[in-house]
Amino acid sequence: MSAETKRHEFATGEELADALARAVARQLSNAVKTRGRASLAVSGGSTPPPFFRALSRQKLPWENVTVTLVDERLVPPSSERSNARLVAQHLLQNDAAKADFIGLHSDTNDVSAAAERASTALSSLPQPIDMVVLGMGTDKHTASFFPDAANISELLEGDDGPIVRPVTAPSAGEPRLTLSMGAITGAAQVALHIEGIDKKEALNEALRSQGRQAPIRAVIERAAKPVHVYWAPKSAS
Ligand SMILES: O=C(O)[C@H](O)[C@@H](O)[C@H](O)[C@H](O)COP(=O)(O)O
């Protein structure tokens, strides 16, 4: 398997946000033209908001688009840690307010039960997913594939089976819910949105190393098509 990427580099986070928003809009518009519907899975964290805001203003048939999450923390939607809350605040606004949203949260503190319920909730999601946008930590995790997760081997191998998996990892903070490796790598297009020198170096190190596979490398190697890496120096804001 090749760890092939297509690199898109920008001078600022704002330029990146605009370019990634236009690329995602093109992918979703084409999917709606081809099959009448489109699906988008986005990641949480501190990096995406400028991209989310740029995407929310893109002109496309949002009423035919379903948005979901690459992963979620096991917290209520009202929590500041909630990715569903982040997407509601920054993406499902403006033109994108017309999109459907399927979150991963359900009212249980049992992460395994939550993963089962989330998999059921996503059974109506148009698949393969048309566009997946990943983030990455400097520890080379992506989605909620944390290197110290008890089930990391299963997460990185798990192409088949439920679309949402439970994750418990000391470095993750709360227990997590994550799309499966198969759901992510089977997507029509995968983009990785990272900012800052530290993350660029971490990615290049993961792709160079022959050692124990870093989660981001496992995803890039298994992706059906080359992953589009969108990078800019850390934005000042
Ligand atoms: O729920 C999450 O935290 C994300 O889905 C996670 O995978 C994120 O993309 C990385 O941790 C990068 O996070 P930052 O953008 O905050 O660096």
Question: Can you give the pTM of this predicted structure?
Answer: 0.97
pLDDT digits 0-9 by tens, 19-39? 999 999 999 999 999 999 999
Question: Which atom of ligand 1 is found nearest the CA of 143?
Answer: 7
User: Distance (Å, rounded) from C-alpha 79 to C-alpha 73?
Assistant: 10
Buried b (16+ CB within 10 A) or exposed e, 204-224: eebbeeeeebbbbbbbbbbbe
Cβ of 155 less than 6 Å from ligand 1: no
Ligand 1 centre to CA of 226 (Å) is 21
User: Distance (Å, rounded) from C-alpha 195 to C-alpha 190?
Assistant: 17
Residue 106's pLDDT is what?
92
Cβ of 13 less than 6 Å from ligand 1: no
Cβ of 44 less than 6 Å from ligand 1: yes
Q: Is ipTM over 0.85?
A: yes
Cβ of 64 less than 6 Å from ligand 1: no
Question: Which region among 7-16, 72-81, 91-100, 155-164 has the lowest average model confidence (pLDDT)?
Answer: 155-164
Question: Which atom of ligand 1 is found nearest the CA of 142?
Answer: 7
Residue 213's pLDDT is what?
79
Cβ of 142 less than 6 Å from ligand 1: yes
Question: Which atom of ligand 1 is found nearest the CA of 144?
Answer: 7
User: Distance (Å, rounded) from C-alpha 177 to C-alpha 69?
Assistant: 9
The DSSP code sequence of 142-168 is: BTTB-TT-TTHHHHHH--SS-SEEEE-
What 8-state DSSP symbol labels residue 64?
Answer: G
- H or E segment to which residue 39 belongs: strand 38-42
User: Distance (Å, rounded) from C-alpha 33 to C-alpha 37?
Assistant: 8
Cα–chain-centroid distance for residue 40? 9
Question: Which atom of ligand 1 is found nearest the CA of 71?
Answer: 5
Reported in sequence order, the residue ranges of 64-130 that DSSP labels E, i.e. its strands, are: 65-69, 71-73, 100-102
